Structures are given as structure tokens and as C-alpha cells.
Structure 1
Amino acid sequence: MAETVIQTRGLVKRYGDFTAVDGLDLEVRAGEVFGLLGPNGAGKTTTILMLLGLTEPTEGSIRVLGHDPVREPIAVKRITGYLPDNVGFYDELTGRQNLFYTAELNGIARREAAPEIDRLLGRVGLAHAADTRVGAYSRGMRQRLGVADVLLKKPRVVIMDEPTLGLDPEGARAFLQLIRELADEGMTVLLSSHLLHQVQAVCDRVAIFVKGQMIACGPVEELAEQALSGEPLRLEVEFSPCPPELLAELERLDGVESVRRLEEGEHPGGPAPAGGVVRLELVCRKELRPEVSRLAAAHGAAVMHLSQVGRSLDDIYRRYFAEGGEGDGGSSKGAA
């Protein structure tokens, strides 16, 4: 088991009669990208502020690499980098000058900072704009400069709050790739977002927040089993060719409830297949992908595509959000 980097127990934050975070038990492990997923107002940012020692919890405990943010806020800030949703820089200074200013604030000598700043600017794709005033940067460039700014003090954990908000699709994709690379190099990243597809693309584990409560936590695959257990599986498969005998055997296969040929315009996984390719939807009571592939081979049919659908983070989130939103028994602590 990897080292626990962030741990909370019974964490509560109230503002008067309003409970922003309610009984949060959370563990984030070294080297993982951990996603906090939920709509605006779910308690994600409040949780981050408590982790950083920027607001005190009403109840419960927090440890960030063994340090208590309430009693040891400076120690936590030394080992933690924070990237808010809107990074603040001095617009009249260049990207390089802003990073030198950060280095000075962190007590890093200029001769030590200079080569590291050059390396980081290259790492985040801003070497070409190092000496351009930040006021001329796009939002995506500012976010990448924010990553360089965070990494300059060599933190052990980086916390990002809605880091891709406002970025165009290509900018968001590049930013997520950078996050994944940081984790692959051993950095621990806690990522807060309401963008399901981005969380699914980059996170090792996900915690789903609804109304201040963490109602589920785990890898996306496990969340699907928890949230959608009892529901039939849907498989989309493309065969070339698809002889009638194969179709008949699929319909008789143990665990198959129905087989339906997808007509033109019914291809959520992509464009309609080319001539000679048949796409089917199988509704199953259990996992049957190996059996489907075996039957195809036995009938000389090539499997052009085979995937399970309806098990995305979007489907999982809708189920959990509906249950948590109705207050019908969603767990207040989740399973970290």
C-alpha cells in the first residue's frame, strides 16, 4: 500500500446553520491523481481550503504528510503546491520575472532559481513566452505558468481547483496530459473538478461529492459496480462479416437478454460502419465480452469493435447524484 499523503477523519465545516462539508473521511495516496468530483457548491473548494490551512474545520482532523494544517500551516504550505481556478500573477512582469519573484518569496537563491526556472518553463511549454509580459498570456498559458510556479518549490503534493476551467479542448487535453506526467514521476495530485470526462481521463481514483458529503470513492470501474449493480450490461460490437449463424448463437448465449442491430444514425460510439460491417447492441446479465469474441472467431468473423457502454463516469455520477440529492441514504463518509 502506498504512503498516505492526505488523510481526513470526520471532517466537518459549518458556516452558521449551513454545513459545507459533512463528516468527510478521505485518504489520498502517494503518486496518484485523486479527483474530487461534484457540482458547484458540493464542498470541494471548502475541503481544499481546510487541507491547506486556509480555513479551520468545525470538527474532525486533517493530516497532510503527517502535518496538521491548523497547528502547522507553514509546514503544510512548504510541502504543498496550490493551483486555484484563477491564478494570480503580476501582468506587467514577464513569465520569467514572475517565477523569480516566487523563488525569492520561497527563499530560493537567484543563482539556484535561474536554471530551474528555465527547465520548468520548457516543461510546461512556455519557453517561447518566457520573456513576454503575463498580461499578454492566454488563460491556458497562465494556467501552465501556474504549474511552473507551483513546481518551483518542489512540493510533494499539488492541489488543483478546477484547473481546466475556461480552457479550450486542446488546451485542456494538454493540461491533463501534464498532470498525468507529474503523477507518473511520483507527484501526488489532488484535482477538484465538475467536468466528468476530464476526471475520468486522468484520475486514478474519484470521490463523488453531493451536498457536502462524499457518497462514493474509488476507481471508476469499482464505482460502476457499486452504483450500477443489478442493471444489465450493454455491449456494442462490430463484426465483419456477421453470418446468420453467429447472430443466432449470440441470441442463445447464456446471459444475453437481447440482441439488436443498430441502424444508421444509432451509432453513439462513432459514425455508421462501412459496408460489410454489422454493429449490434447486446443487453447482458453478466460480462460476456470473452464469449462474444470466441463465438466470432468460431464463425470466421472479425471483431472490429467491442466495448461496454453505459458504464461511464457520467452514468455513475447521475446515479449517485440522484440518490444523494434526494437524501435517500447516501453515505456521509464514503469508502476511501
Structure 2
Amino acid sequence: MGIHRHRRRVSSSRRSRVTIQEIQEEIKMENIVVQTEELTKAYGDFTAVNKLNMEVEQGEIFGFLGPNGAGKTTTVLMLMGLSVPTAGTAKVGGYDIIDQSRQVRSVASILPEYSSLYGDLTAFQNLDYIGQLNDMPKEERENRIHEVLETVGMFDWLDSKYESFSRGMKQRIGIAATMMKNPKVVFLDEPTLGLDPVGTREIRELILRLKREQGLTIVMTSHILSEVQLTCDRIGIINRGKLVLKETMENLNHVMVGKEDRRVDFKLTETPQGLVRDIEAIEGVKDVKQDNGHLYVYAPEEADVKVSRAIVDHGSTILLMKPREYTLEEIFMKYYTKED
């Protein structure tokens, strides 16, 4: 009897573990705001988006990158329920983009690359019109307009005409417009394009603040890769309609840079004669370059200890040892060229 009771307890424990795993998976799925499954869009023989699979998590800033014609805008239009996919599907805010496109547009907003606001209307009038399009009652509209203008730092210009604003101010009003219906996710298409350095920094800080203070999920397309690197939590690179990379910013160097390309900067007190030759002889070392007290060693991580030992054995001291960190632009170009 005791054995049978023990078996029953083990079986119950196993059931509990399975239940916990299912709960964890369910929680993970609840945190996904955008999810595509084999999403495809074709125009005749041309496939603009090809079986795209990606996920965007709650409260993150996701950088969606690719050259012109890669499929970024087509993807965003489908995710907004404004274009019907040829095959596959997606969910935004839990709603199916095909069967529930109206609900999708109730939880998602878009800031297009080129403004659709009216130049001869004031900031207030433009936002009031957007509120009316979303069936917001008058009092709710006015309260929300004041809130979003405060958020983007444009409250003092609520009665100024949109056409009088600088490019950066127009972008801030555009972001305010996307916030009118209190969305779960916002798609920003080239939000810093054409801005001067001050305007670029202001928009970047605004985007980061929206994430930090409001928990907003943001999908951002941009050609300015330095801004993506400063702003985004994760990126996806799309090439010819296919997602060829999806990774966190922290892991990009590990994922993208092959071992043969890894470079470590050693700053030394001196470079004794014969040191470079001995380092080049170490297994795995591809190349060694010298420049003004620095040795640039191209080698996998496993060679670091032997390289360091060789430096010490030659009587030099290591003042700095730092693997090279590649910029997002370098990684993008390297990977995109490889995919081509």
C-alpha cells in the first residue's frame, strides 16, 4: 500500500510540474503584443513579405530594420489591418489582423513617415479630429488632448497651427496623435528622419520616456542605425521580405560576429621584438596588427589566455584588454551583405 501511495504522490507531482510549465507558457504568451505566423504578402510574382515569423513583447522597443523595399512598410500596414496578407496571419494586442482588423486598430496606432495631419489646423484641432474619428466623447477628447500634449512637451502650442511647427515639433504632435486612443502598441515609421541633432535627441528621449513611464510597446523602423542602437531593446532585420535576424542589442556582437572576425585590443607598456611573431604562432590567431602602443589581435576567445601569457613572457604589461564592440551599422552591413 505504501508503494502505491508513493507512486500516486509522484504522479501528482508530475502533474503539478506540467501545470506550472503550462502556466509559465501562458504568462509568456500574454506578454506578446505582436505575433506573426508565416505572414506573407505578394503582388503578382513579387513577394514583398515572405513567411515572416516574429514576436514583439509587452513594453519593449523593437527596431525593425531593412533597406528600402525590404518589406518593412508592407509588414506594418498588414499589422495595422490596413492590408490583407496573401497567406499567414498575425495578432496585435490579442486580435487577429484579418478577422478582427477593427479591434486591431483600436489597440494599435501608427506614425507614418510622412505626416497626415492638417497644416491649417491647430495642434488642438488636429488631435480633436482624431478623437472624433475614434468616437471619443467631447469631454474625454479634451482631457486626453491636454494629457498627450503635456506628455510630448507641446502643451504651450496647442492653439498654434501645425504648419508653423518645425519638423521636430511636427513629429512630437504626430506621436501625440498616436497616443490619443491610449494604444497598446505604436508603430513609428522613421520617427527621426530629417531632424537636426537636437530634434533627434528630443524624439529619442520621448520614445524612451513613453516606454519607461507608460509601458508602451513600440515598433520602430529607421535608417538611422545609431539611433536604433541607442533606443531599441531588440532588433529584427528584414531582407527581401524575410526576417534574417532577431536579437537583443546586448547579444548582437555574439550572434553576428564570427570567431574569425573577433578582435581584441591590447594596450601595452611596450611591444618587445619578437612578440608579434610569437602571438601569430598561437593556435587560432588569424592576424595581429600594431598601432601606437596597441596590438589588435584577431582570434577566438580561447586564445586570449595564451596571447596574454606571451605578452607577459616578453616582459610587457597589459594596460588594457578589450574586445572590439561593433556598431549596429557595421553589423547590419556585414549581415546584409552576407544575406545578399
TM-score, normalized by the shorter chain, greater than 0.5: yes
Q: What 5-or-longer segments of structure 2 have no aligned partner?
A: 1-27
User: Contact 1:217/1:223 (CA < 8 Å) preserved in 2?
Assistant: no
How far apart are 1:284 and its partner, in Å? Answer: 3.3
Instruction: Give the number of equivalent residue pairs.
Output: 305
Q: 1:231 is matched with which residue?
A: 260
Q: Secondary structure at the match of 1:9?
A: strand
Relative contact order higher in (CA < 8 Å, ≥ 6 apart) = 1
User: Contact 1:40/1:194 (CA < 8 Å) preserved in 2?
Assistant: no
User: Contact 1:255/1:286 (CA < 8 Å) preserved in 2?
Assistant: no
Q: 1:88 is matched with which residue?
A: 116
Q: 2:206 is matched with which residue?
A: 178
One of 1, 6, 14 as aligned partner of 2:42: 14
Distance 1:280 1:117 in 2: 58
Q: 1:191 is matched with which residue?
A: 220
One of 70, 82, 88 as aligned partner of 1:60: 88
* Structure 2 letter corresponding to 1:197: S
Distance 1:159 1:81 in 2: 6
> What do residues 180-219 of structure 1 show as CA deviations (whole Å, max 9, x unaligned)?
2222231111112232222222111111111111111111
Distance 1:216 1:323 in 2: 12
User: Contact 1:216/1:223 (CA < 8 Å) preserved in 2?
Assistant: no
How far apart are 1:230 and its partner, in Å? Answer: 2.6
How far apart are 1:323 and its partner, in Å? Answer: 2.6
Q: 1:286 to 1:89 in 2, by over 3 A?
A: same
Distance 1:290 1:314 in 2: 30
Q: 1:133 to 1:157 in 2, by over 3 A?
A: same
Residues 68-83 of structure 1 aligned to structure 2 (within 5 Å): 68-83=96-111
* Structure 2 letter corresponding to 1:165: L
Q: What 5-or-longer segments of structure 1 have no aligned partner?
A: 264-277, 326-336
Q: 1:155 is matched with which residue?
A: 183
Larger Rg: 2
> What do residues 78-131 of structure 1 show as CA deviations (whole Å, max 9, x unaligned)?
111111111211211111221122222223333333343223223212233222
One of 146, 151, 170 as aligned partner of 1:142: 170
One of 109, 113, 125 as aligned partner of 2:137: 109
- 1:208 and 2:224 aligned: no
User: Contact 1:12/1:24 (CA < 8 Å) preserved in 2?
Assistant: yes
User: Contact 2:266/2:318 (CA < 8 Å) preserved in 1?
Assistant: no
User: Contact 1:13/1:21 (CA < 8 Å) preserved in 2?
Assistant: yes
One of 17, 23, 28 as aligned partner of 2:51: 23
Further displaced range: 34-43 or 200-209: 200-209
Q: Secondary structure at the match of 2:183?
A: coil
Residues 36-55 of structure 1 aligned to structure 2 (within 5 Å): 36-55=64-83
Distance 1:109 1:237 in 2: 65
User: Contact 1:23/1:213 (CA < 8 Å) preserved in 2?
Assistant: yes
How far apart are 1:59 and its partner, in Å? Answer: 0.4
Distance 2:38 2:328 in 1: 26
Instruction: Tell me the TM-score normalised to structure 1 length.
Output: 0.79
- 1:323 and 2:303 aligned: no
* Structure 1 letter corresponding to 2:296: E
Q: 1:312 is matched with which residue?
A: 327
Q: Secondary structure at the match of 2:54?
A: strand
Please tell me the root mean square deviation across aligned C-alpha atoms, in Å. Answer: 3.1
Q: 1:10 to 1:130 in 2, by over 3 A?
A: same
Distance 1:125 1:48 in 2: 27
> What do residues 7-39 of structure 1 show as CA deviations (whole Å, max 9, x unaligned)?
111111010111000111111111111111000
Distance 2:235 2:170 in 1: 26
Q: 1:101 to 1:238 in 2, by over 3 A?
A: farther
Distance 1:100 1:17 in 2: 43
Distance 1:257 1:319 in 2: 19
Q: 1:268 is matched with which residue?
A: none
